Amino acid sequence: MTDERNIDADLVKIEALLDVTFTDKMHLLTAVTHRSYLNENRGAKQEHNERMEFLGDAVLELVVTDFLFKKYPEKPEGELTAVRAALVNTVSLADASAKLGINDFLLMSKGEAKDTGRARQYILANVFEALIGALYIDQGYDASRKFIAGHLFPKTEKIVEKRLWQDAKSRFQELAQENHSVTPTYETLGQEGPDHDRVFTVGVFLGKEKIGEGKGLAKQEAEQKAAENAMANKNW
């Protein structure tokens, strides 16, 4: 969490990270403000970033759709939709935010600031969309597109080449059948924690051989992680 006394200086640092100078700094300040911050700072002048995120999500979808439509004229609608989803999912956007260094400048409550797990990943992804919304309001479509292009478009070829637009289970099944003529099977190896926060451990097998293992708050999530782990272990 950023100390309020340093907010003006931090906004200048964020602009340097983004390589953008905002006409109205309030747009940028709003983009990095989580709802929880306002609960602890009643005198803050800015809104939280959820409306900016809503706008940024729409701009992001249009920009990425236009880019993919022009880049891959031979691909059908279904595959383009899947590639777009892989490019703008929570993991991808959170990674883009983290690489920018935005994490150091988020305005959050003390409690939210301590969370470094999945909740922080969602916050980082939402901030990336909020920054797009702030850019769009402050400087228009072209500035928003330039920002998105610089931080997301380079990921596209890897997503397409490695078929990352498929979910991990589907990719692993295709590769397992292609390389071993075997369909993977999944088995729950264990579970721990209380009912409201249970963690499942799942193994994925080719025949009787365990190839990978994954953990998740749902069996489906654990299976996806197991498939990812298996592909890494197979160097696929």
User: 116-128 pLDDT, tens per residue?
Assistant: 677 888 999 999 9
d(C-alpha 121, C-alpha 53), whole Å:
15
Residue at which a domain ends, from 133, 161, 189: 161
Confidence of residue 199 (pLDDT cuts 50, 70, 90): very high
Residues 92 and 188 in one domain: no
For 70, the token pair is 């022009």
Q: Which residues of 22-59 are buried (b: 16+ CB within 10 A; e: fewer)?
A: beebbbbbbbbbbebbbeeeeebebebbeebbebbbeb
Residues 104 and 195 in one domain: no
- Would strands 199-206 and 185-192 be described as parallel, antiparallel, or unpaired? antiparallel
Residues 178 and 155 in one domain: no
Residue at which a domain ends, from 161, 177, 206: 161
Residues 23 and 116 in one domain: yes
* In the predicted structure, residue 3 carries a pLDDT above the cut 60: no
pLDDT at 16: 96
d(C-alpha 126, C-alpha 93), whole Å:
8
Neighbours of 62 (CB within 10 A): 14
Q: Which residues pair with 33 in a beta bridge?
A: 107
Strands, E assignment, 122-172 = none
Residues 88 and 63 in one domain: yes
What pTM does this model have? 0.75
Indicate which residue of 53, 129, 223, 228 is catalytic.
Answer: 129
Catalytic: 57? yes
Indicate which residue of 10, 57, 138, 228 is catalytic.
Answer: 57
Residues 54 and 119 in one domain: yes
For 10, the token pair is 């931090």
Residues 228 and 199 in one domain: yes
For residue 156, give the amino acid letter: T
In the three-class reduction of DSSP (H, G, I as helix; E, B as strand; rest coil), residue 232 is classed as helix
pLDDT at 213: 97
167 by Cβ neighbours in 10 Å (0-12 / 13-18 / 19+) ranks as middle
Q: Can you give the CATH number for the domain in which 191 is found?
A: 3.30.160.20
Residues 184 and 80 in one domain: no
Residues 18 and 130 in one domain: yes
Q: Can you give the CATH number for the domain in which 112 is found?
A: 1.10.1520.10
Residues 142 and 223 in one domain: no
Closest CA to 226 of 170, 171, 186: 186
Closest CA to 148 of 88, 81, 223, 102: 88
In a 13 Å sphere around the CA of 221, the CA atoms on its Cβ side amount to: 8
DSSP annotation of 104 reads G
Looking at residues 169-184, what average pLDDT do you find? 91
Q: Which strands, in side-by-side order, build the sheet including 185-192? A: 185-192, 199-206, 209-216
Catalytic: 195? no
Residues 181 and 154 in one domain: no
Residues 130 and 184 in one domain: no
Confidence of residue 12 (pLDDT cuts 50, 70, 90): very high
Looking at residues 12-39, what average pLDDT do you find? 96
Residue at which a domain ends, from 161, 177, 202: 161
Domain that holds residue 157: 4-161
Domain count of the fold of the chain: 2
